[in-house]
Amino acid sequence: MINEIISMNGYGAYVWSAFAFTLISFTALYFVTKLQLSKEQKRFASKFGSLNIEKARAARSQNINREILSNTSNI
Amino acid sequence: MFKYFEPNKIFAITSKAPKYVLFLFIVVLTIGLTEALILSPEDYKQSDAARIMYVHVPAAWIALGIFSSLALLSIVSFIFKNKNFSLIAKSLAPSGFVFNIIALVTGSIWGKPTWGTWWAWDARITSMLILALFYGMYLLAWRIYEDKEQVVKVTSLIAILGVVNVPIIKFSVDWWNTLHQPASINILSTNVTIHASMLIPLGVMTAAFALFSLLIFLMKYNTELIKVKNKGLDRL
């Protein structure tokens, strides 16, 4: 049974390489995108940390900024 | 209507959604791979080589769908001067490009056992390659141009010019004599020439691929919004 699945009637090399290429592409795209996202989140947190109290309060008044900060604390 | 798409309103959803979409994608992909590689029958003509269809066809469909969305979003963004639509389009493009490459590479791998060659300058394959070039130009334009107004104009132009190629890809197998087989499924008619035992895994794999493109879109869109907010902090 396992040999049949691996050999795929002699087409195993073609079938498995097509599926492997797809899954490797998915994994690479996922990790590259995740890396870019966490880089921007870290940059946001560091910029936010360098603001004075008044500017930080003004920035915090926006929902989206609070949301980014709450997500940044999870990374 | 556009107010519902404002980043401030949707970020709460887009920032939390990726983990749920990732979970759903893994579940659907596992079911799809089991069906595609083990449970579905071999083809009576192409034997097990036909299983490449389960990655090749959904990848091509999604690459075409995303490019059509890019063009539509570019037109809407251009007419209504809504920057958020161009951000959505920008976030969709990377997964569309990767699906286009997957369709080309898996098509090439499938071509060897069925046609005896890795590549042929055939109408369907060449038009898919042209679509990949348009995707490449679109992504490159976002990197090259600094000026926001200019980049939106250039990328919209690329998307609108490139979408002309989409119906050419679709009908290339009917308009020209090609090595590529004609469509087995047509959403505009009930005439389906593929058995349910193959149609179901194909549908499940398409759903998995669509979930993956949604996942990448959400992550990329969140990245773009945070970039905008980072610039906003600089201006404070």
Q: Is the CB of residue B17 less than 8 Å away from at least one CB of chain A? A: no
Q: What is the mean pLDDT of residues B32-44?
A: 91
Q: Is the CB of residue B216 less than 8 Å away from at least one CB of chain A? A: yes
Q: Is the per-residue pLDDT at A47 higher than 60? A: yes
State the pLDDT at residue B68. Answer: 96
User: What average pLDDT does chain A have?
Assistant: 86
Secondary structure class of B173 (helix, strand, coil): helix
CA angle centred on B209, ends B208 and B211, rounded to 5°: 65
Helices marked H in B43-120 — which ranges? 53-80, 83-115
Taking CB atoms and an 8 Å limit, are A17 and B109 in contact across chains?
Answer: yes
CA angle centred on B70, ends B67 and B71, rounded to 5°: 95
State the pLDDT at residue B122. Answer: 85
Q: Is the per-residue pLDDT at A42 higher than 80? A: yes
One-character DSSP codes across A37-58: HHHHHHHHHHHHHTS-HHHHHH
Q: Is the CB of residue B79 less than 8 Å away from at least one CB of chain A? A: no
How long is chain B? 236
Q: How far is CA A55 from CA A41, B184, B228, B234, in A?
A: 19, 60, 17, 11
Q: Closest Cα of chain A to B94: distance in Å?
A: 8
State the pLDDT at residue B129. Answer: 95
State the pLDDT at residue B186. Answer: 66
State the pLDDT at residue B1. Answer: 61
Instruction: Specify the amino acid at residue B62.
Output: I
The pTM is what? 0.90
Rounded Cα gap, residues B129 and B147, in angstroms: 29
Taking CB atoms and an 8 Å limit, are A37 and B225 in contact across chains?
Answer: no
Q: Which residues lie below 8 Å from residue B23, measured CB to CB, with a gap of 6+? A: none
Q: What is the mean pLDDT of residues B149-155?
A: 91
Q: Closest Cα of chain B to A62: distance in Å?
A: 8
Secondary structure class of B81 (helix, strand, coil): coil
Question: What percent of chain B has a predicted confidence (pLDDT) above 70?
Answer: 92
Q: For residue B52, what is the DSSP state?
A: G
